[in-house]
Amino acid sequence: KPMEGRISDIGPRKYDSFFPEVIKKNFGKWLYHEILEPGVLVHVAESGDKVYTVRCGGTRTMSVTNIREICEIADKYCDGHVRWTTRNNIEFMVTDEATLKALKEDLAGRKFAAGSYKFPIGGTGAGVSNIVHTQGWVHCHTPATDASGPVKAVMDTMFEEFKNMRLPAPVRISLACCINMCGAVHCSDIGIVGIHRKPPMIDDQWVDQLCEIPLAVAACPTAAVRPVKSEHDGKKVNSVAIKQDRCMYCGNCYTMCPALPISDGEGDGIALMVGGKVSNRISMPKFSKVVVAYIPNEPPRWNTLTSTIKHIVEVYSENANKYERLGDWAERIGWESFFELTGLEFTHHLIDDFRDPAYYTWRQSTQFKF
Ligand code: SF4
Ligand code: SF4
């Protein structure tokens, strides 16, 4: 039924129609909130009402069975209410301590198998919350890595930090499976970014049958694509040429033209970016910077990737001050010291000369002394 005051009924219903009663009653009248223990928050309202929130890690791709089980828990303890955070954590909210205790015990008892967690409680405060990733490896044109695979491997490595809050500050880890970064990875403490390292291949036979050549030309941000006459099977065909030294392997042309495939088992891999954040505590929000230019795709467990991330987080944890995000710490000690302490190699691959001041990189930083 149409919602009152809504111009149309297109899209999801207005958010407040989903509020639990206690949230509806105390909307806009909350006094404070605190984290009682990893994964458990309490919000206290002016009326004295309390809401206890239990946060659990969720899988990003969920089966119907998994969602049904989540709904069953929500029906049992939360009058059917449940919410997902932007990091795909699942949050159950209850209003008294006895239900909170029963809910926590129930969640802890649900397992896929002995020793595994189905609904691990955590992801709050100064730890590693759920890792978000883009979904392109399933359906998109340009992924250079799997998304769920590396995320699962990294989260398994970092899992103790999901359940504890012993890091100096939150560490947000995100993955984008190509440099288009539709998952906003560029503002994460640690960004895992799929990269191509070779220009697209040109399939002359199909270019003018599968794509509008002007669109493929216009799609290139560096003007590397131009229309040419080529030859296939002894016949003249309309095709394109790619100026190799202009190409930054973004794959935009492939999005426009399926005859320009860019995926390459040998060339594709992962770059690691560090130090971004959207918070303005201590310092302004900032973009992450590339600190490892290339890590090969190593399914099924991405060992180099996981050990590099674990190492960066360990060094950060040992050296940063309380409340300092990874980027704040690196800026305070100087990025030269970041590379010295972590032992990561600083190479010319980490330097670019892109001129837009919104994306200042190493070369434009007068503080950088290597
Ligand atoms: Fe597609 Fe790139 Fe987004 Fe992945 S990050 S879903 S490949 S645009
Ligand atoms: Fe241009 Fe990107 Fe295609 Fe290279 S991959 S030719 S930079 S659109």
d(CA 362, CA 347): 11
> Does 140 sit in the ligand 1 pocket, CB within 6 Å?
yes
Residue 226: partners with Cβ closer than 8 Å, 6 or more residues away: 217, 240, 241, 243
Residue nearest to atom 3 of ligand 2 (CA): 253
Ligand of minimum distance to the alpha carbon of 147? 1
Residue nearest to atom 3 of ligand 1 (CA): 182
Ligand of minimum distance to the alpha carbon of 201? 2
Ligand of minimum distance to the alpha carbon of 197? 2
Residue nearest to atom 7 of ligand 1 (CA): 143
Per-residue pLDDT tens digits for 101-151: 999 999 999 988 877 889 999 999 999 999 999 877 778 888 999 999 999
In the block, which residue shows the tokens 């809504």?
6
Report the run of H or E that residue 338 belongs to, with start and end: helix 335-342
Per-residue pLDDT tens digits for 169-200: 999 999 999 988 777 788 899 999 999 999 99
List the pLDDT tens digit at each of the 370 positions of the chain. 555 666 666 777 788 999 999 999 999 999 999 999 999 999 999 999 999 999 999 887 889 999 999 999 999 999 999 999 989 999 999 999 999 999 999 999 998 887 788 999 999 999 999 999 987 777 888 899 999 999 999 999 999 999 999 999 999 999 999 988 777 788 899 999 999 999 999 999 999 898 899 999 999 988 999 999 998 888 999 999 999 988 989 899 998 999 999 999 889 999 999 999 999 999 999 889 999 999 999 999 999 999 999 999 999 999 999 999 999 999 999 999 999 999 999 988 887 655 555 555 544 444 444 4
Probe ligand 1: pick from 134, 253, 297, max atoms within 8 Å of CB? 134
CA of 221 to the centre of ligand 2 (A): 7
Residue 172 CA neighbour count, 13 Å, CB half: 23
> Does 74 sit in the ligand 2 pocket, CB within 6 Å?
no
CA of 235 to the centre of ligand 2 (A): 26
Residue 360: partners with Cβ closer than 8 Å, 6 or more residues away: none
- Please answer whether residues 83 and 93 qualify as being in contact, where contact means their C-beta atoms are separated by less than 8 angstroms: yes
- Could you tell me the end-to-end alpha-carbon distance of the chain, in angstroms, rounded to an integer? 64
Residue 234: partners with Cβ closer than 8 Å, 6 or more residues away: none
d(CA 22, CA 302): 44
Residue nearest to atom 2 of ligand 2 (CA): 250
